């Protein structure tokens, strides 16, 4: 499973290795405009904690995929973000989360393009029936992306997080395999 | 009905910086190029500015096309 390599038009996606922990990656977590919509506590992150986090994924059911720019001839370019993917075989259920750390790739469809590939991989190759995800109510681009991909809103947890001293809701989304396949090319 | 469509279109028009006539009546997430993730954010902000209040999370989630924006305008 460690050799999974997924390709989209513009990106390469593969499980991160310890050696992918970098100052660049750390700078994303320390940047409040990025970490404000993440569940991780950015302020306390170090290169060591990133390595530990990468190593906590077994690459069998728990994956931390890196998103890399795809250069000509499929050569791996810069690391621009991550997709976490945790699969519970017992329930045929996975959880997916995405972070685009390099702000130069915000608003360019990277989450849609890369998450689509990982979802395709999960439904096509794992015995997975459903994928769940969530985002804060202040994260409009994420909400747009969930709507665009036909995710079903499954609940709103009111005042579930505090961002910049304000309560925000946590929105829960679900994608069932049958819904994904029905909307795959729309 | 045409006037109502115009109101919602006006919100989109101001938010995305496009002329009303360039916005198709069936404009929605996924079928109008200018309505991308950043555009969506701008539409929500413009709608909040128009109705002079913050949208509830369920209202934000309901925004997918012109009628859904019109519905919020009509009830605010």
Topology of domain A6-131 in CATH is Aminopeptidase (3.40.630)
Of chain B, the percentage scoring pLDDT greater than 70 comes to 92
Say which residues have a Cβ less than 8 Å from residue A137's Cβ, sequence separation at least 6. Answer: A143, A156, A168, A169, A170, A171, B57, B60
pLDDT at A51: 97
Say whether A156 and B57 touch across the interface (CB within 8 A): yes
B4 pLDDT exceeds 80? no
The side-by-side arrangement of strands in the sheet containing A62-71 is A6-7, A11-15, A62-71, A75-88, A93-100, A130-136, A166-176, A152-163
Query: What's the DSSP call for residue A134?
Result: E
Determine contact: B41 vs chain A, CB below 8 A: yes
- Beta bridge pairs of residue A86: A62, A95
pLDDT at A2: 52
A155 pLDDT exceeds 80? yes
Of A147, A169, A186, the CB nearest to B57: A169
Say whether A171 and B29 touch across the interface (CB within 8 A): no
What's the pLDDT tens digit per position in B12-49?
A: 999 999 999 999 999 999 899 999 988 999 999 999 99
Compute the nearest-CA separation of A14 from chain B (Å): 25
Q: Could you give the CA distance from residue B27 to residue B42 in angstroms, rounded to a whole number?
A: 15
Say whether B40 and A186 touch across the interface (CB within 8 A): no
B1 pLDDT exceeds 70? no
Chain B residue numbers touching A107 (CB-CB < 8 A): 36-38
DSSP string, A25-56: HHHHHH-HHHHTTSSS-GGG--HHHHHHHHHT
Say whether A144 and B29 touch across the interface (CB within 8 A): yes
B3 pLDDT exceeds 60? no
What's the pLDDT tens digit per position in A79-134?
A: 999 999 999 999 999 999 999 999 999 988 999 999 999 999 999 999 999 999 99
Determine contact: A107 vs chain B, CB below 8 A: yes
Compute the nearest-CA separation of B6 from chain A (Å): 23
B2 pLDDT exceeds 50? no
What are the Cα distances from residue A113, in Å, to A7, A79, A84, B26?
10, 15, 15, 24
Q: Could you give the CA distance from residue A167 to residue A185 in angstroms, rounded to a whole number?
A: 37
Say whether B57 and A171 touch across the interface (CB within 8 A): yes
**Region A172-180: what's the mean pLDDT?**
97
Helix (H, G, I), strand (E, B) or coil at A183: helix
What value does the mean pLDDT of chain B take? 90
pLDDT at A65: 98
pLDDT at A27: 95
Query: Which residue of chain A comes nearest to B58, CA vs CA?
Result: A156
ipTM of this complex: 0.79
- Beta bridge pairs of residue A11: A69
Of the candidates A104, A137, A140, A98, the residue with the CA atom closest to the CA atom of residue A119? A98
Chain A residue numbers touching B47 (CB-CB < 8 A): none
CB of A71 closer than 8 Å to CB of A51:
no
* Domain residue spans of chain A: 6-131
Give the pLDDT band (50/70/90) at residue B66: very high
Query: What's the DSSP call for residue B55?
Result: P
Chain A residue numbers touching B58 (CB-CB < 8 A): 156
**Region A134-163: what's the mean pLDDT?**
94
């Amino acid at each position: 499973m460690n050799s999974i390599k997924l390709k989209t038009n513009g990106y390469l996606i593969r499980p991160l290795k310890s050696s992918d922990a970098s100052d660049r990656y750390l700078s994303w977590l320390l940047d409040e405009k990025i970490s404000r919509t993440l569940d991780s506590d950015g302020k306390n992150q170090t290169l060591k904690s990133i390595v530990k986090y990468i190593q906590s994924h077994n690459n069998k059911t728990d994956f931390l995929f890196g998103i890399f720019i795809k250069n000509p001839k499929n050569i791996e370019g810069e690391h621009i973000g991550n997709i976490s993917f945790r699969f519970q075989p017992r329930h045929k259920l996975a959880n997916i989360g995405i972070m685009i750390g390099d702000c130069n790739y915000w608003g360019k469809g990277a989450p849609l393009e890369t998450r689509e590939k990982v979802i395709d991989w999960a439904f096509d190759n794992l015995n997975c029936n459903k994928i769940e995800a969530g985002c804060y109510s202040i994260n409009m681009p994420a909400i747009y992306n969930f709507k665009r991909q036909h995710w079903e809103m499954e609940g709103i947890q009111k005042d579930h997080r505090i961002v910049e001293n304000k309560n925000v809701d946590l929105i829960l989304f679900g994608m069932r395999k049958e819904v994904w396949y029905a909307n795959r090319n729309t | 009905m045409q006037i109502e469509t115009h109101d919602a279109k006006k919100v989109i028009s101001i938010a995305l910086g496009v002329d009303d006539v360039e916005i198709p009546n069936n404009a929605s997430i996924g079928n109008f190029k200018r309505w991308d993730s950043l555009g969506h954010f701008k539409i929500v902000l413009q709608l909040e500015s128009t109705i002079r209040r913050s949208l509830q999370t369920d209202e934000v989630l309901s925004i997918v096309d012109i009628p859904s924006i019109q519905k919020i305008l009509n009830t605010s």
